């Protein structure tokens, strides 16, 4: 029963950053007077690692993490100086234990945060193009449909397939094919808006999620993208164009996968009707 909750707590971002900062600093300040009141007979030193772990795991602003470590060490040393019944060698030993344990736990939690976030990024990123991958796309579409059902509005989904890409791989080699995919990723990043998200979902197939985008706006963006792909690919000596299918969702279907299927069918219609063109799908 406890394990799922611990897993959630150990996930960076589960605790909002500002809340982690407030709770961490507040806990340190609460522990300080308790440490003094109980004296050397009951040591609270070990408890300080919990607020430090909290802030180092859930806060990305290093200044606040360092500040919490400095505050924690400072109040523990002040408490240590008030203990008149401890011998000097014990106090020196305790001083080094306090400094070492506080810094070590904060560093371990911070490294854990960095590694977890990097693992999440890699699991949702296509290694060749650095675009988001299929897994990230499915999550994004799901979240967008939830947002629409709750707040209304509309969004568009675009599926793009590169015409002639297989021929490039066969005649020019996979290295040139990878370069063409990299160029396509660059084109998508340059010619989509900040609110849009581009994905590579496999091979030479790409997807763009466009929140708050009407049919007219989506069609205009897709037509411009289709021309840009043909032009930029030609400049790099690639005989590649883009077949694009899209659908605009005003009322989300019962199954999220139907949105991608609709845009995908529209893309195949664009390919079979001449390639290098844009077709709308109706969901």
Domains of the chain as residue ranges with CATH: 2-123 (no CATH), 134-280 (3.30.70.270)
Q: Is 204 a catalytic residue?
A: yes
pLDDT the model gives residue 94: 85
pTM to 2 decimal places: 0.71
Q: Confidence class of residue 120 from pLDDT cuts 50, 70 and 90?
A: confident
Average pLDDT over residues 144-150: 90
Catalytic residue among 35, 161, 196, 204: 204
Quick one: what percent of the chain has pLDDT higher than 70? 96
pLDDT of residue 118: 82
Beta-bridge mates of residue 207: 159, 199
């Amino acid at each position: 029963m406890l394990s799922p909750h611990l897993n959630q707590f150990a996930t960076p971002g589960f605790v909002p950053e500002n809340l982690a900062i407030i709770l961490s600093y507040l806990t340190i300040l609460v522990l300080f007077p308790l440490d003094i009141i109980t004296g050397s007979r009951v040591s609270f030193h070990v408890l300080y690692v919990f607020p430090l772990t909290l802030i180092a795991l859930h806060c990305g602003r290093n200044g606040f993490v360092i500040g919490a470590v400095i505050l924690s060490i400072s109040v523990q040393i002040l408490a240590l100086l008030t203990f008149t019944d401890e011998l000097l060698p014990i106090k020196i030993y305790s001083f080094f234990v306090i400094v070492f344990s506080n810094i070590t736990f904060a560093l371990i939690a911070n490294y854990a945060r960095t590694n977890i976030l990097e693992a999440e990024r890699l699991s949702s990123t296509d290694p060749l193009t650095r675009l988001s991958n299929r897994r990230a796309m499915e999550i994004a579409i799901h979240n967008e449909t939830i947002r629409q059902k709750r707040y209304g509005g509309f969004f568009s989904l675009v599926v793009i397939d590169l015409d002639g890409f297989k021929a490039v791989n066969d005649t020019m080699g996979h290295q040139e094919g990878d370069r063409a995919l990299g160029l396509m990723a660059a084109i998508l990043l340059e010619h989509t808006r900040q609110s849009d998200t581009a994905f590579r979902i496999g091979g030479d197939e790409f997807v763009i999620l466009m929140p708050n985008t009407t049919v007219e706006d989506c069609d205009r963006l897709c037509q411009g993208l289709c021309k840009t792909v043909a032009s930029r690919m030609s400049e790099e000596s690639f005989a590649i164009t883009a077949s694009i299918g899209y659908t605009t969702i005003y009322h989300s279907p019962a199954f999220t996968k139907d949105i991608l299927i609709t845009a995908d069918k529209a893309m195949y219609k664009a390919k079979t009707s001449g390639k290098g063109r844009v077709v709308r799908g109706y969901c």
